[in-house]
Chains A and B, each alone.
Chain A
Amino acid sequence: MALSGTRRRAAYLFVVPAFLLYSVFVVYPLFTGLTYSMFEWKGTLRSTFIGLSNYSHLFTEAFRNELLSALGHNFLLLAGTILVQNTLGLAFAVALFAVRRGKRALQTMFALPYLVNPLVIGYLWTLLLSPTFGPVNSLLRSAGLESLAMPWLGDPKSALLTVILINTWQWVGFPMLLFSAALGGIPPEFNEAARTDGASSWKVFWHITLPLLRPAMATVTILSFIGSMNAFALIYALGGSNGAPAGSTDVLGLLFYRTAFASGDVNAIGTSSALAVFMFAFIFGSTLVLQRVLRSRS
């Protein structure tokens, strides 16, 4: 598309405000974060240039253990999100596609929880699941399911799973909306043609609908990846900054929060900046790779 000189100038003029805002609020902090990570800090005072020492602190034994365990939990969260949340989202989208009356109302209902702040949701669920006063456990007990009335968030074996389920409860509407939009974009002729050839509805779904949903799945997967790697608010509300119980819900976001704000370490800014740069590089790099792999498939 060729633009004349004046039009091009006008186009640049329109881009300038967004570019300035982006530079000030995204590019500049990213760059300062990178420089912060190469200095030793005395409180909020930048001290001497120490190169990569802050990064090597991330890999000292005590820190590395926390880092690896947190990263592992991020990946479990991702697996849980893909298996539970995205599968349910797809199921809801397909089910709702067939619904004729009240479709909008149902869609809105499923999507409603993600309009609520995750901190509020986390707080409400800790109350619901409290082993001493929570209604969930008393409900289970009165239904004769005594064995299921357990400290859901207080037992390391069930805590992360509970987090995944609550997260799903909040976010399932999002993949559902994306899949709904993608389903709406599939021409009905494909479906009808397959039906005329005698394919069962399961076969139609498996061989026609699902392959055509691939681009949507790629988008949902990438967004789930970014969401799971950056998880913080809900987990913080459910298990505090140490990822209680016994660090079983600890994730990178919490580790960063502890390192930066809760350690009381004199060099907290240096270490936490290094961790932030590491997280950014890891998430950005993985997203690029993931995108390339998923795009080439679809």
Chain B
Amino acid sequence: MRRLAGLAAAALLCVTAACAPSNSNDSSSSSSGSKVTLSVWGWGPAENYQKMFDQYEKENPNVHIEARSFTAATEYDTILSTGLAGDSGPDLAWLRPGAQLQPLVEAGRLTPLTTEQVPGLKDFDKNVLRAATGDKDGKVYGVPFAVQTLQVVYNKKIFADNGIQPPKTWADMTAAADKLKANKIIPFAFGGKDDWVLPIAASIFGTSQWGGDAFLADVKAKKKKFTDPAFVAGIDELNKLKPYFPDNVAGVSYTDAQILFSSGKAAMYPGGLWELGFFGKNAPNVELGVFTPPAPAGGEGLLPGFTDGSYGVSAKSKHQAEALKFESWLATKQYGQLYTDTLEQLSAVPGVEPKDPLLKQVSTTFGEHGAAYFMNEFAYGNPSSQTVFSKALQEMLLGRITAQEAAARLDKSVATWL
């Protein structure tokens, strides 16, 4: 038995040893002799990215891009911060937006980007770039790649069967929900057990109430507080919509809500744009539509969204020039188009038109009625204001506190760092 194990170990060693040279030498052994390998770390499926990067390699034969993916999204931050601190880190990496980017910036792990090095940055929207900017030094550290929007996804067939149109007014929306409920269909597939979805839902139904970016700017300038009646009314919409959510909504998990929608038991799903990809794969028979909840006071609703991530350059990378050149390409329309077509996501590069009709609709709406997702702008502090407010919203849904009290908790938490 022991001998067998020894043999197996020896075989394993042979295999790994045989593998090693072909892996590590492919840059130096190429005929040109000066081929540079740039490694890119991220949290998305690597093969999709490799497909896009192949395009760059075709145009830049002296560079090889190696995409590496860490699918465990929560561990990615730890892996990246350790990687960038040591010598085994990547040349480029996906960076989290806003608050979660700051530890890397303050540790000096990233190369700041200038518009001379990356000309494409000039055309980016200031709000989009803010997610890739250091809070203290105001420098840009990444080229944003994705924009996520938060809206309601609906099942077109259920809407048609019940004679419902995407709502034009708030009253339309609640009337549609009443009709669905009477026909034994859950109007909104939504669950509050995984509390990170709660600020998302609050912003989908409430952003029009508190008025989007102007309100957030006032809060940052300390002219207004989160206890403002407009904000309280906004998050209170979750309480008012409770009859249209599944029973025991605070006990329903994120996956349960997804299944309720994909199995056709529920007609609408308030969530992020990334859900389109999930439903497209897991419920290919469900024809999807999207709408932004109308403003309760009448008129078009605001569509909240945020920059999801950006490409940054490691300060320790030995190939700064090549990495910056690659960054410039990532800021071009060519990459933006490739991104949106390959991944069916909204690209953060300005002027990119998605081919997918749903994405196109979202992109147009976001251009006309977009607003910043409030939670990402206020996710600082330890305990983080996001954690505090997610929990407060959960307690609100459970009926333990009022919308006013939930808003007061956010206000108090924000006051510890603002």
Contacts and interface: CB of A to CB of B under 8 A. Distances in A.
Contact of A156 (B253, B379, B382, B400): B400
A152 B413 CA distance: 30
B250 interface: yes
Interface in A158-177: none
A246 B107 contact: no
Contact of B99 (A63, A152, A242, A264): A264
A105 interface: no
B229 interface: no
Contact of B103 (A126, A150, A268): A268
Most buried by B among A154, A242, A264: A264
Nearest to A270: B382
A242 B365 CA distance: 34
Given A42-B106, A153-B193, A132 B96 contact: no
A152 to B, nearest CB: 8
Contact of A246 (B194, B260, B387, B391): B391
Given A242-B390, A258-B383, A264-B103, A45 B251 contact: no
Contacts of B99: 264
B256 interface: yes
Contact of A261 (B77, B84, B246): B77
B100 interface: yes
B387 A258 contact: yes
A132 to B, nearest CB: 5
B81 A265 contact: no
Contacts of A150: 248
A43 B77 CA distance: 11
Contacts, number: 132
Contacts of B246: 132
Nearest to B108: A45
Interface residues of B, number: 50
A244 B195 contact: yes
Given A42-B106, A43-B109, A126 B382 contact: no
Contacts of A126: 253
Chain A interface size, under 10 / 10 to 19 / 20 to 34 / 35 or more: 35 or more
B251 A240 contact: no
A219 interface: no
Most buried by B among A57, A133, A154: A154
A266 interface: yes
A129 to B, nearest CB: 9
Main secondary structure of the interface of A (DSSP, over half): loop
A198 B404 CA distance: 69
Nearest to B101: A264
A115 interface: no
Most buried by A among B100, B106, B390: B106
Interface in B389-417: 390-391, 394-395, 398, 400, 412-413, 416
Contacts of B394: 244-246
Given A131-B247, A245-B398, A267 B256 contact: no
A152 B253 CA distance: 12
B252 A131 contact: yes
A62 B106 CA distance: 24
A113 interface: no
Given A151-B248, A244-B193, A246-B400, A132 B256 contact: yes
Contact of B387 (A57, A151, A262): A262
Interface string A115-136: 0000000000010001111000
Contacts of B77: 261, 264
Contacts of A57: 382
Nearest to A67: B383
Contacts of A215: none
Contacts of B102: 43, 264, 266
A151 B108 contact: no
Given A44-B103, A45-B108, A247-B391, A131 B248 contact: yes
B383 A246 contact: no
Contacts of B34: none
Given A126-B253, A264-B77, 19 more contacts: A43-B103, A44-B81, A44-B82, A62-B388, A66-B383, A133-B259, A154-B251, A239-B193, A242-B391, A244-B195, A246-B395, A258-B384, A258-B387, A263-B384, A264-B100, A264-B103, A264-B380, A266-B106, A267-B382
12 contacts: A42-B107, A57-B382, A62-B383, A62-B413, A132-B246, A132-B256, A132-B260, A152-B251, A154-B251, A156-B400, A240-B193, A242-B391
The 5 closest A-B pairs by CB, nearest first: A154-B251, A151-B251, A43-B107, A43-B103, A265-B382
